[in-house]
Amino acid sequence: MVMISNESPIDLLSEDVLHLARELIGYELHTFIHGRHCSGIISETEAYAGVHDRASHAWGGRRTERTKVMYKKGGIAYVYFTYGMHYLFNIVTGPEEVPHAILIRAIWPQIGLEIMQQRRKNKPFQLLANGPAKLCQAMGIDLQQNGVEIGSSIIWLGRKHVIEPANIIAGPRVGVDYAGEDALLPYRFVWVNPSL
């Protein structure tokens, strides 16, 4: 019943969070939460480069109850609550004590469309998971998944879909104007689907 794929060749312990953020585009993201299996292809990511990145929650080495999970070894989930109502899902990367994380900003739903639609108040397909908080709502992700291993029976990566490198564009991150010059860094990666 529960399918597990631990064959992902991606190295989440790498310190090159920028490379990983680009590499994650095209991977299937699966969840098995509340008895429901959902998946989608990752189509948008943002890299947050630890203590040297003003836009990161771990900037300057900040370590709080919320951010402590980022300091663990790469390959786990960092889920946090924001704006008083939304959950955002990140994948922690890098070795222990290096608080890198990659925000998953959008996926293309594949498995469990009906479930996602229910969780998303019957929104149309295109609006199911095209934003970081929408994706969490559709997949059923909340604080219970914080710190969960990527590759467990709860959250795992599936196979990687082949995407033309030319269809992945980099640009500045969203909603980080407070980060000064770091807000301009091209740490955001978007898969532009030419068939749209």
- Chain contacts with DNA (rule: CB under 7 A): 46, 48, 55-58, 62, 64-67, 78, 81-86, 88, 90, 101, 103, 120-121, 123, 127, 131-135, 137, 173-178
Residue 196 tokens, joined:
């749209």
Please tell me the distance from the alpha carbon of residue 49 to that of residue 59, in angstroms, as a whole number: 8
Question: Residue 172, exposed/middle/buried by CB under 10 A (0-12, 13-18, 19+)?
Answer: middle
Please tell me the distance from the alpha carbon of residue 97 to that of residue 102, in angstroms, as a whole number: 16
Closer to DNA by Cβ: residue 5 or 82: 82
Q: How far is the CB of 112 from DNA (least distance, A)?
A: 17
Closer to DNA by Cβ: residue 36 or 66: 66
User: What is the SS3 assignment for 105?
Assistant: strand
Closer to DNA by Cβ: residue 7 or 177: 177
Q: What is the gyration radius of the CA atoms in the chain, in angstroms? A: 16
Q: How far is the CB of 24 from DNA (least distance, A)?
A: 13
Q: How far is the CB of 27 from DNA (least distance, A)?
A: 17
Closer to DNA by Cβ: residue 8 or 93: 93
Q: How far is the CB of 68 from DNA (least distance, A)?
A: 8
Closer to DNA by Cβ: residue 78 or 191: 78
Identify the CA nearest to 17 among candidates 44, 42, 53, 47: 47
User: What is the SS3 assignment for 97?
Assistant: coil
Question: Residue 35, exposed/middle/buried by CB under 10 A (0-12, 13-18, 19+)?
Answer: exposed
Give, in order, the Cα–Cα distances in Å from 48 to each of 5, 60, 136, 139, 189. 26, 13, 18, 22, 12
Closer to DNA by Cβ: residue 4 or 192: 192
Q: How far is the CB of 126 from DNA (least distance, A)?
A: 11
Q: How far is the CB of 67 from DNA (least distance, A)?
A: 6
